[in-house]
Structure 1
């Protein structure tokens, strides 16, 4: 895929994520919906002026779009089981990994956590060898993971979360500012369930996009924030005795 088509592909993804319709673009560019569809389909005929106007509709500047396009078509999708195991077995390394995944810079980590400069460089060098980051000159950190990066299902990180983090995370009434817990129930077909999963994944992408928007704020203005989304075909085991007997 050419860089131009990668850019348009990312633009379409962001338009869909922000709920912007072809008719909205048509009004902004003073074009027909058909012309907009052709413009986005062809890609190469999209001028920078028109691109800038479309970006304004989603509250994004062109530089952000170019960056998203560059990162979304490259990067690490996941770690191996052994790599995740290395993180879990070294709590300091795991902490530094979580920091860099959350956008911390070298100075930010030093300011917030008790590391010496040599210790932190050592941990970052380990993450570099794991291909999670590229440790650049002057201790600059460049993430090498894809926006669709995820931990292994049932892997060491997920198990660590379930054993060590989950209980502490839910030890709250979720009634303070910055807290929200919603549980909904209903009857849903498997295809509808899969569509909901796709929408949840878009919300995850929006979460990380929002984090990127705040990168230029000071650390005092940003706070560690976690979001948990879960959906599955599941029934409370307590009621298993009321389930119909499955015939063989």
Structure 2
């Protein structure tokens, strides 16, 4: 029986939160570590497997369903209208970025040249968008889920492609830990799909790490972007030599 992606995400979150790793889960299920990673990346998991993982985590199905219900109260995405409001207002976009990354009100004022009134106005607008709940004393309860994503081909993605992507890829990758890696070659569709699945696993790892790093003070973290992309493509200058 195939489980929903939200259930798989929740199990991954519980594994991470409780300090387990895939190797330990694999040992408990009498599977190879690669088989467990593949099971989580594809989302294909039988109820028997879910029960076995829950047993390792000290949970039962009612616990899991309760946690899923809590997650349902959180926002997975914004409307295109709200995304466009973020794109149109750099201050609002900045504060939204900070909220998604669990900054406090004080963190924002310390790092960015914004007044308290400006930040409060932005938080009020994000409250209206259901990205957060603005509490007394300018405290904030973030309501975006760990599965939060931007609208496919929506305002944020278009903004990234038209402005942010060029700035990001055109810069120097010179800070310690930076990496710019480009690979080209002729491969089959099957091989491309294999690579695609590996890249998705790396993307999930990035999400997991950003959640773990929330425990670290905001001034010890640094804005970091990772772009993973693969597509069938040919350099335009080569096309003039193609046989018709």
Asked if these proteins are the same fold (TM beyond 0.5), I'd say yes
**How far is the alpha carbon of 1:187 from its aligned partner?**
3.0
Paired position in structure 1 for 2:94? 95
Residues 117, 23 of structure 1: alpha-carbon distance in 2 compared, 3 angstrom cutoff: closer
Alignment partner of 1:25 is 2:6: no
Distance 1:103 1:187, change over 3 A: farther
- Hey, what does 1:200 align to over in structure 2? 199
Q: CA deviation at 1:239?
A: 1.4
Structure 1 contact 8–43 (Cα < 8 Å) conserved:
no
Q: Distance in 2 between matches of 1:38 and 1:155?
A: 35
Alignment match, 1:146? 145
- 2-structure distance, mates of 1:198, 1:208: 15
Looking at structure 2, the residues matched to 97 and 154 of structure 1 have their Cα atoms a distance apart, in angstroms, of: 19
Cα pair 2:102 2:214 within 8 Å, conserved: yes
Q: Secondary structure at the match of 1:234?
A: coil
Q: Which moved more, 1:73-82 or 1:230-239?
A: 73-82
* In 1, Cα distance between equivalents of 2:14 and 2:53: 18
- Residues 113 and 20 of structure 1: is their aligned pair in 2 closer, same or farther, counting only changes over 3 Å? same
Gap change, CA 1:148 and 1:23, over 3 Å in 2: closer
Query: Is 1:167 matched with 2:175?
Result: no
Task: Give yes or no for contact 1:71–1:146 (8 Å, CA) kept in 2.
Answer: no
CA-based RMSD of the aligned residues comes to 3.6
1:86 aligned partner: 85
Distance, in Å, in 1 between the alignment partners of 2:160 and 2:219 is 26
Contact 2:133 2:140 in 1 (8 A): yes
Native 8 Å contact 1:15 1:21 kept in 2: no
Sort the Cα spacing of 1:132 and 1:238 in 2 relative to 1 into closer, same or farther, 3 A: farther
In structure 1, what is the Cα distance between the partners aligned to 2:84 and 2:166?
Answer: 21
1:172-191 matches, cutoff 5 A? 172-191=171-190
Find the aligned partners of 1:133 and 1:156 in 2 and give their Cα distance.
Answer: 20
Deviations for 1:197-229, whole angstroms, at most 9, x for unmatched residues? Answer: 343233222212212222222233211111111
Structure 2 CA distance for partners of 1:133 and 1:67, relative to 1, 3 Å: farther
Count of paired positions: 216
Match of 2:51 in 1: 42
CA–CA distance in structure 1, aligned partners of residues 57 and 209 of structure 2: 21
* 8 Å Cα contact 1:197/1:231 also seen in 2: yes
Tell me, which stretches of 5 or more residues in structure 2 are unaligned?
1-5, 31-45, 59-63
1:22 deviates by 5.4
| 2:57 aligned with 1:51 | yes
Deviation sequence 1:77-124 (CA, Å, 0-9, x none): 332222211111111111111111222121111111122222211101
Q: 1:163 to 1:12 in 2, by over 3 A?
A: closer
TM score, norm. by length of structure 1: 0.70
Quick one: structure 1 residues 201 and 67, their matched pair in 2 at CA, closer, same or farther if it must change by over 3 Å? farther
